[in-house]
Amino acid sequence: MDKRKEIDQEDQELSSVVSLLDDEGNEVEFDHLMTFEHDGKHYLALLPIDDIEGVGDDEIVLLEIQEGDEEDLYVPIEDEKLLDAVFETFLKLLDEEEDGELGDS
């Protein structure tokens, strides 16, 4: 098997699809990019697979993970300053992850 096929298979195995319900109860699928911490709270970075109104093809969705009674809740970040700060943390971690992958070659 050539190296490119091995890498493609590894990427497919590592990526995970997350299905969430929108406000109207419709199932929407996302590619899970990263779960990370910012200022003591946990966040989820998702790339929409399905079309979502108001979200561009190249935009990610950031959600705060809140512990519920029986399962975790994924809550949109309403505060613009917090959203910007969480996004900056995501970008920094993404850069570090990419640098690590390049260093492993």
Q: Does residue 95 come out as left (phi exceeding 0), alpha (psi in the -120 to 50 range) or beta? A: alpha
User: Phi and psi (nearest 5°) for 35?
Assistant: -115, 130
Give me the mean pLDDT over the 32-42 stretch. Answer: 96
Cα dihedral sign for 47, 52, 54, 57?
Answer: positive
Delimit the domains of the chain by residue range.
3-104
pLDDT for position 35: 95
pLDDT for position 11: 47
pTM score of the predicted model: 0.75
Give me the mean pLDDT over the 69-77 stretch. Answer: 91
pLDDT for position 98: 78
Q: What is the pLDDT of residues 42-67, one digit of tens each?
A: 999 999 988 888 888 788 999 999 99
pLDDT for position 100: 72
